[in-house]
Amino acid sequence: MMSTLTGMLPLVLMFVVLYFVMIRPQMKRQKEHRAMIDALAKGDEVATAGGIIGKVTRLSEGFLHIEIANNVEVQIQRSAVVQVLPKGTVK
């Protein structure tokens, strides 16, 4: 009985370390990203996963429209936004 517990101890210990080193920080990042996506508003300047930088002009449930140049708008998924930039970044 004691030998099986001793044999499983390294496996359990590895899982605990894996949880605190990899899984928990990833869940925290996902939660922060979700909060950022939900807080998007018209006029925010954003960067997308594809490298496009623009200003949010319209919002809908799953998509948003960003203006990347004068009179040029693209529609992207909300999840494609990776960063909200400081005001004045896009000229």
> At 77, which CATH number?
2.30.30
pLDDT one-digit tens code per residue, 25-78: 999 999 999 999 999 999 999 999 999 999 999 999 999 999 999 999 999 999
pLDDT at 4: 81
In this structure, the answer to whether residues 46 and 35 fall within a common structural domain is no
Rounded-to-integer distance, Cα 83 and Cα 47, Å: 5
Question: 51 with 19, same domain?
Answer: no
d(CA 91, CA 89): 6
Q: Are residues 67 and 87 in the same domain?
A: yes
Q: How many domains does the chain have?
A: 2
Residues 31 and 69 in one domain: no
23 and 35 housed in the same domain: yes
Q: What domain range includes position 75? A: 41-91
* Res 14: pLDDT: 94
Q: Residue 3: its pLDDT value, please?
A: 81
CA dihedral 60, 63, 66, 68 (to 10 degrees): -160
**Which position has the higher pLDDT, 3 or 29?**
29
Q: What is the model's pLDDT at position 47?
A: 97
